């Protein structure tokens, strides 16, 4: 809720732990944008996502990225 107060222009409705992905925990964040301007929606969405990412960093919560190892045979 704090992030939405800082950003302005949007109202937080709810946040839920939604499900488990193959390599992730999936959360659902529902919020409403004040107005109907698509560019404004995209700007606010970006601000929300970046602020969430910053908060994870402050708390030293790391993201695990899928990796792939390739072994090559010299023929």
pTM for the model stands at 0.76
pLDDT of residue 67: 82
User: 38 — phi, psi (to 5°)?
Assistant: -65, -40
- Could you tell me the pLDDT band of residue 6, with boundaries at 50, 70 and 90? very high
pLDDT in tens, 11-67: 999 999 999 998 889 999 999 999 999 999 999 999 999 999 999 999 999 888 778
pLDDT the model gives residue 49:
96
> Can you read off the two tokens belonging to residue 38?
């698509």
Residue 48 corresponds to which tokens in the numbers above?
A: 């929300």
Residue 48 is predicted with a pLDDT of 96
Helices then strands, counting H and E runs in the chain, come out as 2, 2
The answer to whether residues 33 and 67 touch, using CB atoms and an 8 Å cutoff, is: no
């Amino acid at each position: 809720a704090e992030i939405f107060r800082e950003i302005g222009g949007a109202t937080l409705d709810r946040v839920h732990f939604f499900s488990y992905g193959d390599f992730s925990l999936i959360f659902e964040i529902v919020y409403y944008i004040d107005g109907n301007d698509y560019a404004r929606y995209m700007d606010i969405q970006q601000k929300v996502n970046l602020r969430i990412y910053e908060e994870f960093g402050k708390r030293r919560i790391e993201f695990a990225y899928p990796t792939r190892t390739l072994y090559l045979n010299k023929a």
